[in-house]
Structure 1
Amino acid sequence: MTTTAKKKILFLCTGNSCRSQMAEGWARHFHSDRLEIHSAGIEAHGLNPNAVAVMQEAGVDISNQSSKLVGTLAEVPLDMVITVCGHADENCPVFASQTQTVHVGFDDPPKLARDAATPEEAMDHFRRVRDEIRDFARDRLLKLVG
């Protein structure tokens, strides 16, 4: 019986604290049987506690994930890199020639939350982006990866 190797996917963001972490969590939730999922950042800002909280609300635990630099995955033969923020897209490092790079941008919840009138309004920004990332991971990711 032959088995097909899982495709290796990286979600890349600036600080690997929020959007890429949520994308990693959702992709693992929906597709861990078919994909090997990673996330990293151009910088490592630590895991955003609000991202952890809203993912937990949705039944996905990302509290054990860690914020890491993209360079720590240099030895992983990635099939696809998905940038989830404009800064990462514009400053995406060069990967091996067989690595496909795609940009699927999402709003920055911490940035939006700074202007919120209440803590609940701030969390609503995280929830909206969480749900957009969920929909992408559930409905479009496998089609994109092929």
Structure 2
Amino acid sequence: MAKERVLFMCIHNAARSQMAEGLFRHLHGDDFDVYSAGSDPQKVDPLAIKCMGEIGIDISGHRSKSLNEFEGQEFDYIITVCGNPYNACPFFAGGRKYFKHPAQNSRILAPQTLVFEGFEDPSAFDGTDGEKLELFKKIRDELKEWLEDLYYSYMIPERCNLSEERGECCGPNKEFSCK
């Protein structure tokens, strides 16, 4: 059975989407082929590499990729991790399901389409090196928590049956988190 494909997106593919790619591959790489890209790729942020290394995930070999590299490809999941009132996230055609970090008052507009707000961009933060690293760690931990919730709520491979272990809340058609 082929693995499902996941694409994490943000604007620069330098921090948030790189950390998400590393986290998701570490947690669920046996079941998913995991990629990341951006609409305006920049160099992978050294603080993203450092904060991921602190939890045993090496993303030092990652490189920033343009969404153009994936043009014409299909993905089972497109997951956007950017966005705030000051910038717009990219869009990539070719996804079966689209997800983005939920705002506190997120809502469903149509099946498989949710309204969300993204994670803060730690690369854009202006502070001391120590303050910047702390923000990277905060975003990394928020990403990990959200990705686990997303996985157990919507992405569990069909071959997995976690309903006995986690209760009857799990699965793509359930409205409650299984976390």
Q: Could you say whether these structures have the same fold, taking a TM-score greater than 0.5 normalized by the shorter chain as the test?
A: yes
How big is the shift at 1:79?
1.1
Structure 1 residue runs of 5 or longer lacking an equivalent are none
User: Paired residue for 2:18?
Assistant: 21
Partner of residue 106 from structure 1, selected from 104, 119, 135: 119
Aligned partner (choices 41, 45, 51) of residue 54 of structure 1 = 51
In the alignment, structure 1 residue 39 sits paired with structure 2 residue 36: yes
Q: CA deviation at 1:7?
A: 1.0
TM-score, normalised relative to structure 1: 0.86
How many matched pairs? 137
| Deviation for aligned residue 1:47 | 0.6
TM-score between the two structures when normalised by the length of structure 2: 0.71
Highest RCO, 1 vs 2 (Cα 8 Å, sep ≥ 6) = 1
Match of 1:135 among 142, 145, 149: 145
Which residue in the other structure is 1:92 paired with? 91
Deviations 1:35-69 (A, max 9, x none): 11000000110111010000001110001111000
Name the one with the larger helix percent.
1
Cα deviation, residue 140, structure 1: 2.4
Tell me, in whole angstroms, the C-alpha distance in 1 between the residues paired with 2:142 and 2:79. 15
Offset, 1:120: 1.1
Give deviations 1:94-121, integer Å, cap 9, x for gaps. Answer: x13x522221221111222x1x2x3212
Residue 84 of structure 2 corresponds to residue 74 of structure 1:
no
- Letter paired with 2:133: M
Is the contact made by 1:46 and 1:66 (CA closer than 8 Å) also made in structure 2? yes
Structure number with bigger Rg: 2
